[in-house]
Amino acid sequence: MDPRPIGVFDSGIGGLMAVRMLRHLLPGGPILYLGDTARMPYGDRPAGEIDRLTGELTGWLLRQNVKALIAACGTISCNAGETLQQLPVPCFDVVTAAAEAAAQATRNGKVGLAATSATIRSGCFAEEIERRTGQAVTAVPCPLLAPMIEHGAGPDDPALAAAVAEYCQPLLQSGVDTVVLGCTHYPLIAELFTRILGPEVSLIDCAGEAAKAAAEAMKEQHLLAEGNDPAVTEYRFTALPPQAARQTARRMLGEDFTPRLLPLEKLTAFSTE
């Protein structure tokens, strides 16, 4: 048994979807969450920059003595390979687990991928899915969504609904029966995707799938903490999320959500650059 926290990180609030699943699967926690809200979005940045910022996030989490990490962000999972492969603790990303879930969910082999520009550009998410289905993925960059969701736009926001409707056009035209929500912010508005794509299209929540895979692996590696009480979770952000986003988080976590500020200097002071 290992009482150290599991570190979960994202550019903002998207990774909270992984926290929700972890708390459900692994009572006894604890969990330390880090969102780099001061510097989000990551999805428009070049890969080298995403890798450098990821090094700062994981560096801080490792200094807090985490026993394992979940990169609860499609953009980081696909663009920060250099950092993620050199970590001294197990690290789980969102790609493998979500690709696996999509391959299992699809009935006609046609899978769509909605994600940030950096994730689509990397090609890594689509490749992992294609390796399993043997068919080309319909991959759609959705640059407007994560920042809008981060600022509190929900499924009933007309501007957000218009953007999702436009991004879903290629998915509808290609006849996909499964869509991977490959940015962890998108499951926060899953009902909007369902409204536009129709209830017969299966949606894959990449953060939830990553948390399931991590929980499974941690059980096998005897990395769990003792106890059945709800996991104690500490939420740290480099800029405090706006009120509307906090409400989204509260609604999604189903309980109180108290974000605490982590000044950016705490991350950058240790940066090697």
Query: In the complex, what is the shortest distance from the CB of residue 262 to ligand DGL, in angstroms, rounded to a whole number?
Result: 17
Sketch the per residue contact string, 143 through 162, with ligand DGL: x for CB under 6 A, - otherwise: ---x----------------
**Helix/strand/coil percentages in the chain, nearest 5:** 50, 15, 35
Query: In the complex, what is the shortest distance from the CB of residue 40 to ligand DGL, in angstroms, rounded to a whole number?
Result: 4
Among 78, 168, 183, 206, which one carries the catalytic annotation? 183
Name residues contacting ligand DGL, limited to 41-70 (CB under 6 A): 41-43
The yes or no reply on residue 185 touching ligand DGL (CB under 6 A) is yes
CA-based end-to-end distance of the chain: 37
Choose which of 7, 8, 11, 225 interacts with ligand DGL (CB under 6 A): 11
The yes or no reply on residue 249 touching ligand DGL (CB under 6 A) is no
Is the four-CA dihedral 18, 21, 24, 28 of positive or negative sign? Answer: negative
User: Binding segment for ligand DGL among 131-139, 155-163, 178-186, 265-273 (CB under 6 A)?
Assistant: 178-186
Burial class (CB in 10 A: 0-12, 13-18, 19+), 269: exposed
Number of residues interacting with ligand DGL: please give it, by CB under 6 A: 17
Q: Which lies closer to ligand DGL via its Cβ, residue 5 or residue 41?
A: 41
Sketch the per residue contact string, 116 through 145, with ligand DGL: x for CB under 6 A, - otherwise: x--x--------------------------
Burial 161-191 (b: 16+ CB within 10 A, else e): bebbeebbeebeeeebbbbbbbbbbbbbbbe
Neighbours of 216 (CB within 10 A): 13
CA atoms within 13 A on the CB side of 233: 24
* Distant-in-sequence, close-in-space partners of 75: CB < 8 Å, separation ≥ 6: 11, 42, 43, 50, 115, 116, 118, 119, 183
The yes or no reply on residue 187 touching ligand DGL (CB under 6 A) is no
* Distant-in-sequence, close-in-space partners of 172: CB < 8 Å, separation ≥ 6: 196, 197
Nearest C-alpha neighbor of 225 from the set 168, 233, 136, 83: 233
Q: Which lies closer to ligand DGL via its Cβ, residue 115 or residue 224?
A: 115
Choose which of 61, 68, 73, 114 interacts with ligand DGL (CB under 6 A): 73
Q: 78 catalytic, yes or no?
A: no
Q: 124 catalytic, yes or no?
A: no
Q: Which lies closer to ligand DGL via its Cβ, residue 74 or residue 241?
A: 74
Q: Which lies closer to ligand DGL via its Cβ, residue 60 or residue 125?
A: 125
Q: Which lies closer to ligand DGL via its Cβ, residue 141 or residue 223?
A: 141
Q: Give the span between the Cα atoms of 161 and 249, in whole angstroms.
A: 19
Nearest C-alpha neighbor of 259 from the set 60, 243, 251, 53: 243
> Do residues 11 and 39 make contact, with C-beta atoms less than 8 angstroms apart?
yes
Q: Which lies closer to ligand DGL via its Cβ, residue 29 or residue 187?
A: 187
Among 73, 78, 142, 206, which one carries the catalytic annotation? 73
List residues with catalytic annotation: 73, 183
Residues that bind ligand DGL (CB under 6 A): 10-12, 14, 40-43, 73-75, 116, 119, 146, 183-185
